[in-house]
Amino acid sequence: GAGVSQSPSNKVTEKGKDVELRCDPISGHTALYWYRQSLGQGLEFLIYFQGNSAPDKSGLPSDRFSAERTGGSVSTLTIQRTQQEDSAVYLCASSLRDYQYNEQFFGPGTRLTVL
Amino acid sequence: ELKVEQNPLFLSMQEGKNYTIYCNYSTTSDRLYWYRQDPGKSLESLFVLLSNGAVKQEGRLMASLDTKARLSTLHITAAVHDLSATYFCAVVGGATNKLIFGTGTLLAVQP
């Protein structure tokens, strides 16, 4: 079975441009998470989706960051007016809503470089 | 606010030696995970620990959890070069099951 996929794998952009990062979760996984991994901040949570709704957006660092999920499947993370500090690897993870053993499976990540 | 501390940050070991990575967390959580990350790769799940006193073993790695001390350990037995990677612990934070990660431990096993 396919795992979590993300695209693009690498993205280089100029400061001030908008970027969209895509995540395809494992089929049937209703929970979806975005994380960011950077040298300065380590691995940090950004946003959580259950189905198409996002009950926890507490990790989004600024209003330049937004995300949506459609059809309970694909999610897009959008960063507007990118800044150099946005350079990081953006990881997506999905899981089943099983309280007892809620393992998250991670995608390969998108490496974003803002010049 | 839930915080997770991991030490050491960097560990250089010789093959055949034993060592332990420590993971402390600040508030109660009902699950703790250990992940492995190879350079340029994503996170691979190693263990999930669900209860006090839980111990899981896979090959040369053994993880344990003490919920009263809010401490988990990842013990490496007779290290081999293939274990070289970065290891993260992560604790579930809140009802959304988001993961709060430790700083990671970069393990380098020298032949």
Distance from CA of A11 to the nearest CA of B (A): 15
Number of structural domains found in chain B: 1
Residue B81's CATH number:
2.60.40.10
- pLDDT of A2 strictly over 90: no
Structure tokens at B7: 């030490």
Q: Which residue of A has its CA nearest to B43?
A: A106
E strands, chain A, in order: 5-7, 10-13, 19-24, 31-38, 42-50, 53-56, 65-69, 75-79, 88-95, 105-106, 110-114
Per-residue model confidence (pLDDT) at position B103: 94
Any CB–CB contact under 8 A between B31 and chain A? yes
Any CB–CB contact under 8 A between B99 and chain A? yes
Domain that holds residue B39: 4-110
Q: Which residue of A has its CA nearest to B94?
A: A56
Cα B14 to Cα B81: distance, rounded to the nearest angstrom: 9
Q: What is the mean pLDDT of residues B9-19?
A: 94
pLDDT category at B27 given cuts 50, 70, 90 is: confident
pLDDT category at A39 given cuts 50, 70, 90 is: confident
Amino acid occupying residue B45: S
pLDDT category at B28 given cuts 50, 70, 90 is: confident
Cα B3 to Cα B90: distance, rounded to the nearest angstrom: 10
* Domain at A5-102, CATH class: mainly beta
Q: What is the pLDDT of residues A49-66, one digit of tens each?
A: 999 999 899 999 999 999
- Comparing A31-45, A97-111, B35-49, B70-84, the range with the smallest average pLDDT is A97-111
Is residue A76 within 8 A of residue A6, CB to CB? The reply is no
Kind and range of the H or E run holding B7: strand B4-7
Q: What is the pLDDT of residues B60-108, one digit of tens each?
A: 999 999 999 999 999 999 999 999 999 999 998 888 889 999 999 999 9
